[in-house]
Structure formats: C-alpha cells, structure tokens
Structure 1
Amino acid sequence: MLVWSTFGFLGILIPIIISIGASSLIDSVLGKDYFSSKVIFGACFILSSPIIWFLGKKLNSGAERTLLDPTTNQTVILKENHTIFWMPLEYFAVITIALGLFWISVP
C-alpha cells in the first residue's frame, strides 16, 4: 500500500526511473543482464536521494494562505504538503539512502 499527498509519489517514482535509465544504459554499454547486480541497483537509490531531497524542499517551501472564519474568528492555514507515508518528501530521501545501503550490503 502506498500513501501519499500531492506530489509525494515522486519519492517512489524517481528511484524507479533512475534505475530503469541506468539499467538500459548499463545493458547497452556492458551487455545484457549486467544490471542484475545489487550494487548498481543500490547505487541508483543512493544517487536518487539528493534529487528527492531538493525536490521535496522546493515543493514543501510553497506559500501558505491564512484564512479567517468570520463566524468563529478562528484562523485556518492552507498549505500544500507533499508527503509520502505521512512524512515530508524531503525526509523520504533518508529512506532511499537506507534502502540503497541495504541493497549494496546484501550478499
């Protein structure tokens, strides 16, 4: 199950796109089925984490809008949050680093 809000799904999509791109590039240069190495797959996840971090910082730094309810005089703050699994997108970069290190360390 994947839970996200707004553009939070990019936390999963970016490492997949980088892995597919690396797979096709490495297979064309080094030969078919070379990409099956777990080290290369883990490196793709680690390389995608700075992209996720900076994209998450950029998307989550958007302007917020403060509204006042005239009936109750309470303020409501409206802001777009880009989250995946209930955490801000930029913090999901730490998870992708951990997954990359896991793939590299697994024998």
Structure 2
Amino acid sequence: MSGIIAKKVGMSRIFLEDGEAVAVTYLQVQPNTIVRTKTEGKDGYNAVVLGIEPKKWRTRKGKEHVRYRAQKEWRMESLEGMEPASRKKDRCAFSCTA
C-alpha cells in the first residue's frame, strides 16, 4: 500500500548549503485506520478505505457509530493482511516516528 492521510499544518522554506531556498510543507500524521475493504467479488475491484480522526455519536436507539473526519480510498491488487478496524484496532501501513 502506498499512501497515508495527513493533515497540512503549514508551509516554510529551508536553505540548502549553496544558498538555494526550497519550499517545504509541514504535515501532521495521525493514526490511519482501515475503515473498510472493498473486494472484487462484492464491489468489482479491490480497495482499502483509510480514515483519520474518528468521531463517535449515538443514534436514537443508543447504538454507537463511528465517522471519520477524512477518508480516502486506495485501489490494490490484493487485500492480503488488510482488515477493517471493526476486526482489528489501530492498523497503520507505515511505521511513523515523531
């Protein structure tokens, strides 16, 4: 899988040794959760849906549901090792260091 969801924090610039200025973007990477997997048999293609910043809310019947502030879908060749968060908690495709 080649992708994560991140939040843009700001912009700046850094100067290289030869004095050239390069624009940089600051990103805040939060835990990415697999929200849903789409299978070829059911949806016609293989894909993984990632989400960040979960928000819980209650329905009228008292059940809790989870929505995510941002979601993004990535198509994949195979879904081997990918499970939705309802079956596996805190799944991240990358090792992120702070």
Higher relative contact order (Cα pairs below 8 Å, separated by 6+ residues)? 1
TM-score by length of 2: 0.31
- Pick the structure with more strand per residue: 2
Greater helix fraction, Structure 1 or Structure 2 = 1
Q: Which has the larger radius of gyration?
A: 1
